Amino acid sequence: MSPPRHPWVVGVDLGGSNLRVAVYRDLGAAAAAARTAGRALAQAPAAVIRRPVGSDRSVETIIERIAAAVRDVLAEVGASPVAVVPVGIGLAAMLADRRGTVASSPHLGWRDVAFGPALARRLGPARPVGVYNDVNAITYGEFGVGAGAGARDLLCVFVGTGIGGGLVVNGALAEGATACAGELGHVKVAWGDDAAPCNCGGRGCVEAYVGGAYVLARIRRELAGGARSLAVDLAGGDPAQVHPGHVDAAAAEGDPWALGLWTELAPLFAVALGNAITLLNPDRVVLGGGLLGRTPTLRDQALLALSLVTPPALLDPVSIVLAALGDDAGIVGAALLADAGVSLA
Ligand SMILES: [Zn+2]
């Protein structure tokens, strides 16, 4: 990571329903301190603005909303209008290049939009803009001031609704040719006609087995089909209310159906993760996301399986830890990336 650069830096999280804009003071110095300490030093922003994205998702409207929020949040802290303040934006999108051209963003309904260059023109030269894939921004946030602080080679894996991943190699975010590096969710763990179909259009992706939305659908399907489990009691007796946390608690109690499901899924996740570790040889792995956060039994089983599918020479040096920054990782990571001048539009 580069040394401290700018006294103020802005992070933007452009989600499906909310626009969050935060301004940080001396974030580069904070990241340097976290790296030296080798541990998370979560940073509170000096000011935050949260507004609805709104129903008009046209690129022109979104750019105006971001520009207004950036102006307002900087006015709140009294930053000079002419001082250079980098603006980093994380969004759930496939990018087409490293200048912020969006190939597709289902949340925003965008296809082939030159978002980064247009926003950079609107904000002007005192507000250099970087546009990042949301998982890459989260990864860099955890690397900078979170659970990855002090690592050199970092693999972050987030299992929420789907599965996302990001890589830091030799201290720099590895975005790949078109900023899609680290798409661990679409690594194949099965092949053939009976491999599970994935939202990406492929089959046999690890996400199609272990992604939260798929796990939940399978739980509901099997319980509706007559499977009996302690998880139903834990959910108050209604099979339609069972979520993965209930299944995890049931598995911890030795419930046969819950244990069977976890015993099937844990090795699939472990194979994808173990192959990534074998390819990348990271010194740290950060695990996060809504599903892994609430399923300690599944996590333990996956780590056990990981030890069976990963060569010791690669697994022994890895420290595997849980993400530290929660919902703030992406916004702080986007700010850090823009501060370091990574992939500016
Ligand atoms: Zn897929």
DSSP for 239-255, written as a single string: GGG--HHHHHHHHHTT-
What's the pLDDT score for residue 16? 81
Q: What would the two tokens of residue 237 be?
A: 């007796």
Which residues have a beta carbon within 5 Å of ligand 1, which is an ion? 186, 198, 200, 202, 205
Burial profile 36-68: b = 16 or more Cβ within 10 angstroms, e = fewer:
eeeebbebebbbbbeeebeeeeeeeebbebbbe
Ligand 1: centre distance to CA 189 (Å) = 10
Ligand 1: centre distance to CA 94 (Å) = 13
Helices 296-309 and 244-252, axial angle in degrees (round to 10): 70
Q: Bridge-partner residues for 48, per DSSP?
A: 22
What's the pLDDT score for residue 3? 55
What's the pLDDT score for residue 230? 97
Q: What would the two tokens of residue 262 be?
A: 């976890």
| CATH number, span 8-146+326-339 | 3.30.420.40
What's the pLDDT score for residue 86? 97
Name every residue whose Cβ is closer than 8 Å to that of residue 335 and which is 6 or more positions away in sequence: 9, 10, 11, 22, 24, 27, 86, 88
Ligand 1: centre distance to CA 35 (Å) = 34
Residues comprising the chain, all counted? 345
Regions of the chain with pLDDT less than 70? 1-4
Ligand 1: centre distance to CA 287 (Å) = 19
Q: What would the two tokens of residue 205 be?
A: 């992706």
Termini Cα distance of the chain = 19
Q: Do the domains spanning 8-146+326-339 and 154-322 agree at the CATH topology level?
A: yes
CA–CA separation, 167 and 235 (whole Å) = 37
| Domain parsing of the chain, residue ranges | 8-146+326-339, 154-322
Ligand 1: centre distance to CA 184 (Å) = 9
Superfamily of domain 154-322: ATPase, nucleotide binding domain (3.30.420.40)
Ligand 1: centre distance to CA 183 (Å) = 9
- How do 129-133 and 87-91 pair as beta strands? parallel
Residue from 297, 258, 339 nearest 85 by CA: 339
What's the pLDDT score for residue 4? 54
- What stretches of the chain adopt beta strand conformation (E)? 8-14, 18-25, 47-52, 87-91, 94-95, 102-105, 110-113, 129-133, 154-159, 163-169, 172-173, 284-288, 319-322
Ligand 1: centre distance to CA 331 (Å) = 26
What's the pLDDT score for residue 106? 82
